Structure 1
Amino acid sequence: MHKRRYIFPKRIFDISFSLVVVITILTWLTPLVALIIFLESREHLFFKQKRIGKNGQPFYIYKFKSMKGSAPVNDPLLSIDEANRITKFGKFMRKYRIDEIPQFVNVLGGEMSIVGPRPERQLFLDEIISELPKYKKMLLLKPGITSLGQIKYGYADNLEQMLKRARYDLVYLDNLSFWTDIKVILNTIVIVFQGKGR
């Protein structure tokens, strides 16, 4: 399905790019973020959540914690349901995608890629696949820190929006190439500097 000659250079790029981010940004950013989070909300530094990865294998995704308290374990919430739990600093981190920087550790661990489909929770993934059966093919790819769906549509507050975003990721699936990944990364950088995250 996907191009084998694309997989190896993609992994080399993922490792190289992630090492640069971890060494030059995450090492000094982590204690700074930890201090701000603690002073504002007395929360722990990291948020982790089970997501579904390549071949349907679950893994834990890591982010800087942007919300108070803990989400219900057996009752997944969409972002609109979680809005009242987001801290002031959490809103700032989300705006500039700072909360997602720890995911570069997931990339180094081989669970994620820099570019790929959005890593979903099992319940939402099942709902997407029931409406878009072709989306099951996305499980042949590693989920990404960023995606075509994320830059073209953004975050989703309900199933209808998730399906619209998922259709962009199906376009990505049909156009796999290293150049496509570079374009997604460049567009993501523009969005980050413009503060268009949320």
Structure 2
Amino acid sequence: MLYIDKTEMLKKKIYLREIENLFFAWREYLKEIKILRFLFSFLFTLFILFFLISIFFWIKESVYANVDKEATEKTLGALIIGNYGIKIFLLSLIINWARLRYLLFKRIFDLVISGIGLLLLSPLFLIIAFLIKVDSSGPVFFRQERVGENGRIFKIWKFRTMRENAEAQTGPVWAQEDDPRITRIGRFLRKSHLDELPQLINVFKGEMSLIGPRPERPELYKKIIQVIPHFSERLKVKPGITGLAQVRYQYGASLKDAARKLRYDLLYIKRRCWLLDFQIILWTINRILTGEGAH
């Protein structure tokens, strides 16, 4: 009996020693993996940055909340008891985290799709370039200034669909249906939306996104904001190759059309999410296949 007890004790000691050795080995292994330290530092820095951004939005929203509270008290003729500051702060944490995560993954999605698209579509680009040169004189690509996010001006890339110097006499105007300035191959490119493919360059550079409000020309933008209130709200996001207004409304060729399309753009800015982006992609594919909305 004594012999059995000693054997069991010896087994327990060996077992505990193995666990201890395993623990020390694991600790040494973690010390050797420096990338984990870097990753931890990066995540901690990201958390601090996100926390500071949330505090900024909390202060901003708190000011608006106090203004709304005072206005409500005057309207009701009664005092509103309670402080909603912490609730706004917690809500801003959730909203800002979801917003930052959405914007981060959307940018990654834009980079991947635009990069792969430019590589895979390069043979098609060569064919279109050849057809444009055969059809009319002038450059293959058409670059034009557009108003981007936060009012920044950038040059958009498109396949040329009009005759060279088409606006020499008319100046900046909206393209119309059966526009005589459009070339034969240009008409096909517009109907199939293939003229928009070079904008993948703008997406890859970060000037545009795959999905968002269409960017306007600076000359037309100045005219629009004088007539249509809140049109500048579209500049809160990156412009896109396609957008909600493009798939739910006809081709815009006037200030009246711009005002109607603005409703869809503002709706997208307010409710943008992955599900809505996916729906817009499906609607865009349907429009390309049916040839709708192309002038």
| Alignment TM-score, normalising by the size of structure 1 | 0.92
Question: Deviation digits for residues 153-172 of structure 1, max 9, x if unmatched?
Answer: 13212111111112111111
> In 2, distance between residues paired with 1:106 and 1:135?
22
Residue 153 of structure 1 pairs with residue 246 of structure 2: no
> In 2, distance between residues paired with 1:30 and 1:135?
34
Residue equivalent to 2:222: 126
> In 1, distance between residues paired with 2:230 and 2:255?
16
Aligned partner (choices 32, 39, 42) of residue 127 of structure 2: 32
State the shift of 1:142 in Å: 0.6
Residues 71, 77 of structure 1: 8 Å contact kept: no
**Local SS of the residue matching 2:225:** helix
Provide structure 1 residue ranges, at least 5 long, that are not aligned to the other structure: none
Residue equivalent to 2:112: 16
Question: Deviation digits for residues 7-60 of structure 1, max 9, x if unmatched?
Answer: 1011011111112211111x1012111111111112210011000001100000
> In 2, distance between residues paired with 1:102 and 1:76?
21
Residues 64-143 of structure 1 mapped to structure 2, 5 A cutoff: 64-72=159-167, 75-80=171-176, 83-143=179-239
Q: Which amino acid aligns with 1:63?
A: K
Residue equivalent to 1:50: 145
State the shift of 1:5 in Å: 2.4
Q: Which amino acid aligns with 1:15?
A: L
- Larger CA deviation: 78-87 vs 115-124: 78-87
Query: Which fold has the larger relative contact order, with Cα–Cα distance below 8 Å and residues 6 or more apart in sequence?
Result: 1
> In 2, distance between residues paired with 1:185 and 1:121?
24
Q: Report % sequence identity.
A: 38
Name the count of aligned residue pairs. Answer: 197
State the shift of 1:85 in Å: 0.7
State the shift of 1:81 in Å: 8.7
> In 1, distance between residues paired with 2:278 and 2:211?
9
> In 2, distance between residues paired with 1:159 and 1:120?
12
State the shift of 1:184 in Å: 0.7
Residues 166, 181 of structure 2: 8 Å contact kept: no
RMSD of the TM alignment (CA)? Answer: 2.0
State the shift of 1:130 in Å: 3.2
Residue equivalent to 1:191: 287
Residue equivalent to 1:60: 155
| Alignment TM-score, normalising by the size of structure 2 | 0.63
Residue 41 of structure 1 pairs with residue 136 of structure 2: yes
Greater helix share, structure number: 2
Question: Deviation digits for residues 71-92 of structure 1, max 9, x if unmatched?
Answer: 4379311112991110111111
